[in-house]
Structure 1
Amino acid sequence: MFQIFLRFFSLGLVSFGGPAAHIGYFRQTFVQELNWLDDKHYGSLVALSQFMPGPGSSQVGFAIGYHRGGLLGAVAAFVGFTLPSFILLFLLAVTSSQWLDYSFTQGIIHGLKLLAVVVVADAIWIMFKQFCQRKQAKLLMVTSCVIILLQPSMLMQFGLLIAAALVGRYYLSGLPGEQVQTPEAAQPSVKLNFFWLSIFCGLLIASLVMIGLSKQAGIGSLTELFSQFYQVGSMVFGGGHVVLPLLQQSVGDAVSSDQFLTGYALAQAVPGPMFALAAFLGAEIWVQQPLVGALVATLAIFLPGFLLMLVALKSWHAISARPQVTGAIAGVNACVVGFLLAALYNPIFISAVLSPLDMALVVLGFGLFKIFKPNIFILVAGFGVTGALIGAFAG
């Protein structure tokens, strides 16, 4: 359990770039370096996270922890990956953030954003070769990327996943390079875990009731705070930046626009999942005990996605290995590659590559990454130091 926690904690310290970058970091660490699972199994977990509401990359990490160490392993993975960003955003909510104005600090953050471009580009290249072997899969990838670039919304993303599954079911069934083989395929039947499903549904119904009662009474409580963030976590597909509109709508009465935008900016500046923004907002809302507010909000926004992963995780491995659904999985995987390609441009590339020098560093880093295949932490140190030096000279 400590090994799982330590691996995810170290990634949580350096995982800039949002969900797409996190998926790249996870693949580099747990598939290529540690061999905890193979590319096909990893691809199936990514596909499952796209179908479930919640923080997409954190759900993948949760599933990797579950694969490695059961439920406790999943919790260790979540705590490890989320703890650095939680601590940073909580401290920034209760203390001054003047240190963010220093050119040295901004340089380090900018260098790590450039590294995110390299990592995501490598992940897309590998996943393209793995999941886009046939013409139909390549067309799905290109189509999903173009549509998401032009119409980025969670409804569009979910609709594309359903369409890709249907297309894959009829045109990609039985592809030898895109099947996921797991021992559960031999089981005669597949059953969802209704224990976790009942907990998810019960908490969702209770949150709806509690928010209604709180509005009638005109008072706030920790239960209402939990309910607000739990509802947001239950409705967001894919995680990342798509959580922002729902969050602002949900807690708009409790925090000002300036506070919300400040938290959003800081969440982009720190490593880890965007959902950790809940730590900042929870501390700002529950000012009498900010740590309690941050903990409640963070738990509430992550919990729905994790409960739903537990509902389908074991069954998903069994289902995804069955011949009648391998085509649908292949279609979804191709669509996810398109999503990652769109995310490589927006928000990763456009927020990181701001000059010809930045582009040169990305090309150099990608070349070194593919030729020498260095450890991810060597790359982190290299890009961080380079960014700091550029920031110092620029300042």
Structure 2
Amino acid sequence: MREAEAVAGGARWQEGSPGEVFLAFLKLGLTSFGGPIAHLGYFRHEFVERRRWIDDQGYADLVALCQFLPGPASSQVGFALGLLRGGPLGALMAWVAFTLPSALLLAAFAYGASSLGGPIGTGAIAGLKIVAVAIVAQAVLGMAQNLCPDRQRATIALAAAVLAILFTGAWGQVAAIAAGGAAGLIVSRADGTPVSGHIRFPVVRAASLLCLGLFAALLVGLPLALAVAPSQSLALFDAFYRAGALVFGGGHVVLPLLESAVVDTGWTTHDQFLAGYGAAQAVPGPLFTFAAYLGAVLTPEPNGLLGAAIALIAVFLPGMLLLVGVIPFWDALRIRSGTQALMRGANAAVVGILGAALYDPLFTTGITSPHAFALALTCFVLLVVWKAPPWRVVLVAAAGGALIGLL
């Protein structure tokens, strides 16, 4: 390792150290607005072009791996880059630095939201629920264009939406994704494109198998442990772990899973849920930090900062375990036509699930008047046509909601 040093914020860190990784990702955690696709662009600029931690081919391979797995793709890419640069501690520092700023902001919002009273405060909260409709509609549109480009996959998406509407809850969504993957094996095998390149990270197979075993043990063992020894802390961890383990397709797709976990159980209300989701669009960093807000506002204890910490760790943990577990085997898996076809079908099903969530709970609870619909439509046009950054659109929606509250 070279003896050159990186200088930031008055501190000097040897290249490749966890400190260097932390400072590099802290800058991105404070400034990376725009969602997972934008985050991947920021990462490429910072770590491929500027710092040259990895080349373009290696970065493309890494992005492909993280999009293949459940979990927050941009956070998984950041975690892997930290692993590459600074080893296991570097991976942890990358996750903490990229995640902590938005998690703290959303936890603070959870404490402050209840103090917002009167027509202006109530209207601003309503505006956050309204903008969530526009943001998810934009996500559905973009994902449909990329993941459902033909009649077969559009039909898979439609069937998944119907399943998710008829069979509410997390298991209905899991069934829709499984059915979509099975359909993809039948109708999408011929659509594969050749892949090339290699991913070489310092992960031995023993460590990867340990991570895969821990992922499966938690997924199966947490519900069994709850049945034997009920505990609200364990139930909270299980709910958010399960949501993080079953999310394919990006941050927005976690919405229906978390809604099932915390609203259907009575832990929080639709209004609290949607207000927090709207606020999550106005902060930098990964959308999965929405979990910190939910953990803080839940009615049963643990809540507050402890609840936020439990929910945040639980929702990110499965994606990171899978990433470390799969890295040594990815090259062999991704070239198989069956794997590619299954993921095409599963991704199309994800579009359908997100479309169902756009209707319920977003539209049914956020759009309650003609004024609300007009504001949602305005936000959608700002996002899709004017390409306005989401955080600015959130501010417009909050101001518009406050104005509606005064009318």
Q: Same fold (TM over 0.5)?
A: yes
Cα distance change, pair 357–80 in 1 and its aligned pair in 2 (3 A):
same
Distance 1:301 1:333, change over 3 A: closer
Report the Cα distance in structure 2 between the residues aligned to 1:144 and 1:310, rounded to whole angstroms. 30
Question: Superposed, which structure 2 residues align to 1:44-123 within 5 Å?
Answer: 45=66, 48-49=69-70, 59-70=72-83, 71=91, 72-89=93-110, 91=111, 99-123=115-139
RMSD: 4.2
- Residue 355 of structure 1: how far off its partner (Å): 1.6
Q: Cα distance, 1:34 vs. partner?
A: 7.0
Shift of the 32–78 alpha-carbon distance from structure 1 to 2, 3 Å rule, reads closer
1:121-200 counterparts in 2 under 5 A?
121-175=137-191, 181=195, 183-184=197-198, 193-200=208-215
Give secondary structure in 2 for the equivalent of 1:184: coil
What does 1:167-316 align with in structure 2 at a 5 Å threshold? 167-175=183-191, 181=195, 183-184=197-198, 193-200=208-215, 227-236=234-243, 237-238=246-247, 239-240=254-255, 242-243=257-258, 260-261=267-268, 266-270=272-276, 271-272=279-280, 273=289, 275-276=291-292, 277-281=294-298, 285=301, 291=305, 295-296=309-310, 298-300=312-314, 302-312=316-326, 315=329
CA separation of 1:120 and 1:2: change in aligned 2, threshold 3 A: farther
- For residues 331 and 33 of structure 1, the distance between their equivalents in structure 2, rounded to whole angstroms, comes to 29
- Residues 269-310 of structure 1, C-alpha deviations (whole Å, 9 max, x = no match): 32345533333459x6369xx755654565356534543444
Which residue among 343, 351, 361 is the counterpart of 1:337? 351
Which structure has more RCO (C-alpha within 8 Å, separation ≥ 6)? 1
When residues 375 and 248 of structure 1 are mapped into structure 2, their CA distance, relative to the original with a 3 A threshold, is closer
1:390 match = 404
CA contact (8 A) 2:295 2:307 kept: no
Q: Deviations over 1:69-113 (max 9, x none)?
A: 442323333333432223343x46xxxx75233322222222233
Shift of 1:375: 2.7
Report the equivalent of 2:35: 26
Distance 1:182 1:109 in 2: 48
Question: Does the CA contact (< 8 Å) of 2:188 and 2:344 recur in 1?
Answer: yes
CA distance in 1, matches of 2:189, 2:200: 18
Separation (CA, whole Å) in 2 of partners of 1:39 and 1:8: 21
Aligned-pair identity in percent equals 22
The 8 Å contact of residues 227 and 300 in structure 1, kept in 2 or not, is answered as: no
| Structure 1: runs of 5+ lacking an equivalent | 13-24, 50-55, 216-223
Q: Per residue, is there more helix in 1 or in 2? A: 1
Shift of 1:182: 6.2
Q: Deviations over 1:311-349 (max 9, x none)?
A: 336755763454332111111111111111111111222
CA shift digits 1:365-387 (9 cap, x unpaired): 33343333223333233222222
Count of matched residue pairs: 344
| C-alpha distance in 2 between matches for 1:183 and 1:387 | 49
> SS state of the match for residue 374, structure 1?
coil
Partner of 2:368, secondary structure, is coil
**For residues 360 and 5 of structure 1, do their structure 2 counterparts lie closer, same or farther at Cα, with a shift above 3 Å needed?**
same
Change (3 A) 1:103 1:322: farther
Moved more, 205-214 or 351-360: 205-214
